[in-house]
Structure 1
């Protein structure tokens, strides 16, 4: 008799304590576009600086309003002139397939900054229907129903 191994449970789930520690650590290092948008739209000081770690060409193509532009490769030599080390930094790059935000976050952490990475990057900012700036001005696309609820302000998570 052949037994079929459940691919989900081939490796047993972590204990609740291990899982809690993992997800607590993950949330200390990551945020998402909806939470960033809510913090920025609330008005006043959001308590962090949003940093776009992409190239000048990418920045011109579109970026989150209010973000600071500092390509990941230039963080070591330019961060001290642009960022206050006492203010947390949230980094973003193109999207889930790009690790530029992680490279920028690493460089900032090595310089003594507290950092988080915005999951989804600029791609999900646009796909979730948030406004962005380009060299032509402010733009906004209709939210993608696969990334955000249509007609609602938040996903409810």
Structure 2
């Protein structure tokens, strides 16, 4: 049981999910959400309020743009993308408290959380395959 407890406790210390991130945003918690995807992905859509910092730029940009005591949440495309883990590792190397938003942009969108692009808010849709949707 100790191995399982250690595993899941450690996992939860370094991961969060879209619904918890959205709840933290709505509650006004001081988190910095960082989209670590490339320019084209950012332009297509993103989490409102996120900072765009592709993971390859974190080492140079983060110390200048994000306070060292910030609670950082990184995300990439989806569970099939490891850029979030790469971004999390880069923030961790710099000493930041960082968690990865599991599911990434895909599950943020599928859960119907707000989205935006350069033109403004995008339509919200709720996917009943990943959450309870009430009519």
What TM-score do you get using the length of structure 1 for normalisation?
A: 0.82
Give the distance between the partners of 2:66 and 2:108, measured in 1 at CA.
23
Of the three residues 49, 58, 64, the one matched with 2:47 is 64
Q: SS of the residue aligned with 1:90?
A: strand
CA RMSD of aligned residues (A): 1.2
Of the three residues 10, 14, 17, the one matched with 2:2 is 17
Per-residue Cα deviation, 1:38-89 (whole angstroms, up to 9, x for no partner): 11112x3x13211000111111100000111100010111111111111111
Q: Which has the larger radius of gyration?
A: 1
Q: Which runs of 5+ in 1 are unaligned?
A: 1-15, 153-157
Per-residue Cα deviation, 1:20-40 (whole angstroms, up to 9, x for no partner): 111000000100000001111
Give the distance between the partners of 1:151 and 1:100, measured in 2 at CA.
33
- The structure with the largest helix share of the pair is 2
- Deviation, 1:101, is 0.8
- Deviation, 1:114, is 1.1
**Aligned match of 2:13:** 28
What TM-score do you get using the length of structure 2 for normalisation?
A: 0.95
- Deviation, 1:140, is 2.9
Number of equivalences: 135
Of the three residues 81, 99, 102, the one matched with 1:119 is 102
Spell out structure 1 runs of 4+ moving beyond 2 A. Answer: none
* Equivalences for residues 120-139 of structure 1 within 5 A: 120-139=103-122
